[in-house]
Structures are given as C-alpha cells and as structure tokens.
A and B are shown apart, each in its own frame.
Chain A
Amino acid sequence: DVKVTQSSRYLVKRTGEKVFLECVQDMDHENMFWYRQDPGLGLRLIYFSYDVKMKEKGDIPEGYSVSREKKERFSLILESASTNQTSMYLCASRPLRVSREQYFGPGTRLTVT
C-alpha cells in the first residue's frame, strides 16, 4: 500500500514564525505536490516537484517555498507565517505514468495566531 505521511495532523504557530511542513512517501514516486484546502475554494496547488531538486510554482506560491533534497521527502516552508495562511495543507504524490492518480497524506491543519 502506498503511504504518504505528514509530520503533524494539527499545528499552531504564531505570526512571523518560520513553519516547516514535512511530507514523506514510501513508493518511490517522482511527483510530489503541496495543496491548501479552504472551504468553498477546493484544493489549490502551492508547489509541485517532478523530481529531486526540481520544483514548479502552482497557483498560489506567494509566502511559501519548498525543498526536495531526497526523492521521498517534500517539505513546505512558510518563511514568516501569517494569519491568512491558516488552512488545511495536503501533500500528495504520484508516479509518472499518466493514468495514475495522486495519493494523499492525511493533511495538516495549521492555525496561525
């Protein structure tokens, strides 16, 4: 079974803090993704990575950065957290084959106070 894990289910941080969200997958998938999910807005892509050290901006990259030093790990970084970054963050991975779906982690609910 493919497993995508995220470092925390719930996280509370203060405005201005640097926040790291970690995602690890165990199936040697090339592609990894970070989304945020907000009510009424669906899932919006922040960044994705198609291979180690490769990254592409998604629809809402402002205020975020990412790191992929190893194939299995994709980190999302909030350089200086703000209250409008309070959200559910979902990580996903998938293999390169075009018909394959994404596999999602359980999500991290981040609250910035």
Chain B
Amino acid sequence: AQKITQTQPGMFVQEKEAVTLDCTYDTSDPSYGLFWYKQPSSGEMIFLIYQGSYDQQNATEGRYSLNFQKARKSANLVISASQLGDSAMYFCAMRATGNQFYFGTGTSLTVIP
C-alpha cells in the first residue's frame, strides 16, 4: 500500500533557527518521487522541493533541503534560518506508479519571533 506519514501535527521554531519536519513513506514501487508543499493561511499550495527515488544527492532549494534516507523510507524537510513567513501548513507527498499522488496529513509550523 502507498502511504505517507507525518507524525508532527504542530511544530514551533524560533526565528532564525533551523527546523526539521518529518515524513516517512511506504511504497513497493522502485521508482517514485517525493515532494514538499507549503500551504499558508491564504490556502494556496506552494511547491517547495522534489526528490526522485534514484537521486543520489539530497535535494536543496535555497533554505529548503530534503534529507532523503531511502533505507529508512524517510524524506524529512529541513528549513534553515526560519522566517516569520515560514509559518504555514507543510505537506509531504509521494508520486507513485501511475502518476497518483499521496499526501500526508500535514504539519503546522509556527515561527516565533
């Protein structure tokens, strides 16, 4: 079965600190993709970062990096130097065979000044 698990319903981080949002996945497909999206209170879904199952290097996009541990089936999002504008809901998602996407339940991040 394809599944994404985010075990942290809510997280707090001090401004300028780094934070890690956890994501584990379950799939038997050899080829898959992992995505992180941000959803601010305005509601739009913003794509942050992508990691392919065959990628050797961890993906990075500015202050975002994806800590991909294939053997552990984890794809944690690391946000460095948190900013107030990072306060939002964060979703981990997996694209599996057949182009279906599976989403986690999300983590609500609050950045404290």
The reply to whether A50 and B99 form a contact with Cβ atoms under 8 Å apart is yes
List of A residues within 8 angstroms of B45 by Cβ: 90, 92, 102, 104
Q: Are A45 and B105 in contact (CB under 8 A)?
A: no
Contact B101 A41 (CB under 8 A): no
Compute how far the CA of A98 lies from the CA of B44 in the bound complex, rounded to whole angstroms: 22
Interface size class of A (residues with CB under 8 A): 20 to 34
Contact residue among A40, A48, A99 (Cβ-Cβ distance under 8 Å from B105): A40
| A residues less than 8 Å from B52 (CB atoms) | 98-99
Sort chain B's interface into a size bin. 20 to 34
A102 touches B33 (CB 8 A): no
CB distance B106 to A102 under 8 Å? no
Question: How far is B9's CA from A98's CA once the two chains are assembled, in angstroms?
Answer: 29
Let me know if A58 is at the binding interface, CB within 8 A: yes
Please determine whether A102 and B105 come into contact, CB atoms closer than 8 angstroms. Answer: no
**Inside 8 A of A98's CB, which chain B residues have their CB?**
31, 33, 52, 95
Taking A50-B99, A101-B50 as contacts, is the C-beta distance between A106 and B105 under 8 angstroms? no
Q: B33 and A42: CB pair below 8 A?
A: no
A93→B65 CA distance, assembly (Å): 24
Min CB–CB distance A110 → chain B (angstroms) = 14
Whether B105 contacts A41 by the Cβ 8 Å rule is yes
Whole-angstrom CA separation of A31 from B98 in the bound complex:
11
A74 at the interface (CB under 8 A from B): no
Interface residues of A in 76-106 (CB under 8 A from B): 88, 90, 92, 94, 96, 98-99, 101-104, 106
Q: Is B57's beta carbon under 8 Å from chain A?
A: no
CB distance from A106 to the nearest CB of B (A): 6
Q: Which 9 A-B pairs have the closest CB atoms?
A: A104-B45, A43-B103, A42-B105, A101-B47, A42-B103, A107-B43, A42-B106, A42-B104, A31-B99
